[in-house]
Amino acid sequence: MTIAYERWQGSMAEAAEPLLALCRSIFGEFSDDYLLGRLPHLADPALWLAIDDQDAWKGFKLGYRRGADIFYSWLGGVAPEMRGRGVASELMRLQHAQAAADGYRFVETRTRATNNAMIVLNLRHGFHITGHETDARGVPVVTQRKAFAPPVPWPTAQ
pTM: 0.89
Residue 124 confidence (pLDDT): 95
Strand, helix or coil for residue 145: strand
- The angle at the Cα of 135, spanning 140 to 78, to the nearest 5 degrees, equals 65
Buried b (16+ CB within 10 A) or exposed e, 133-152: eeeeeeeebbebbbebeeee
Predicted pLDDT of residue 30? 86
User: CA triplet 72, 96, 55: central angle to 5 degrees?
Assistant: 95
**Rounded distance between C-alpha atoms, residue 134 and residue 67, angstroms:** 23
Query: Which residue type does 89 have?
Result: S
Q: What is the pLDDT of residue 153?
A: 66
> E strands along the chain, which residues?
3-7, 46-52, 57-66, 70-78, 106-112, 128-134, 140-147
Q: Which residues of the chain have pLDDT under 70?
A: 151-158
**105: nearest Cα among 72, 133, 140:** 72
- At 1 the pLDDT is 78
What per-residue confidence (pLDDT) applies to 139? 94
Distances (CA, A) of 86 to 132, 156, 157: 27, 39, 42
Class of the CATH-defined domain 3-147: alpha beta
DSSP state of 29: S
Decide: 39 and 23 in contact? Cβ < 8 Å: no
Type of residue found at 60: F
By three-state DSSP, how is residue 21 classified? Answer: helix
pLDDT at 88: 95
